[in-house]
Amino acid sequence: MSAPSPTAPAPRRSQRADPGQLAQAVAAAVRAHPAVADLDGGPFGAIASYLPGRRVLGVRIGEAPGPVEVSVVARLGTPLPQLAAELRDVITAVTGSRPVEVTVNDVITGVPTPPTLAS
């Protein structure tokens, strides 16, 4: 008589989720942080998740166990090391134990105003 085979551990949230859904969940969580003005694709828009028919700019999620890369524009006020640490915690809550790389590409002051069209 053989012993029953051990059951495989349940996949982590980041391994179960569709990459598009995961990228969108990370983007929403990061944008919800009050010190983040927006996500940013970095130079040439290279930090992005390319999905069928769309892309999530500022979030790159590769194959597990690769890192989750996020690039943001910060609001002036929160020290950048503190912001990066807080964003890592927020992203880890969404993706699980994958490594997280946070890049702050720009810092803005005040409330951004939309560009105006010249008459």
Question: Does residue 37 lie in a domain region?
Answer: yes
Question: Which range among 2-6, 11-15, 58-62 shows the weakest confidence by mean pLDDT?
Answer: 2-6
More confident residue, 72 or 114: 72
**pLDDT at residue 6 above 50?**
no
Residue 71 CA to residue 1 CA, distance in Å, equals 55
What average pLDDT does the segment 17-36 reach? 91
Residue 75 CA to residue 107 CA, distance in Å, equals 6
Question: Does residue 118 lie in a domain region?
Answer: no
**pLDDT at residue 9 above 60?**
no
Percent of the chain past pLDDT 90, that is, above it, reads: 60
Domain housing 35: 15-108
The tally of domains found in the chain comes to 1
**pLDDT at residue 60 above 80?**
yes
Question: Does residue 56 lie in a domain region?
Answer: yes
The pLDDT score that the predictor gives to residue 52 is 86
CATH code for the domain of 81: 3.30.70.1350
Question: Does residue 6 lie in a domain region?
Answer: no
Residue 19 CA to residue 49 CA, distance in Å, equals 8
The pLDDT score that the predictor gives to residue 17 is 61
More confident residue, 22 or 10: 22
pTM: 0.77
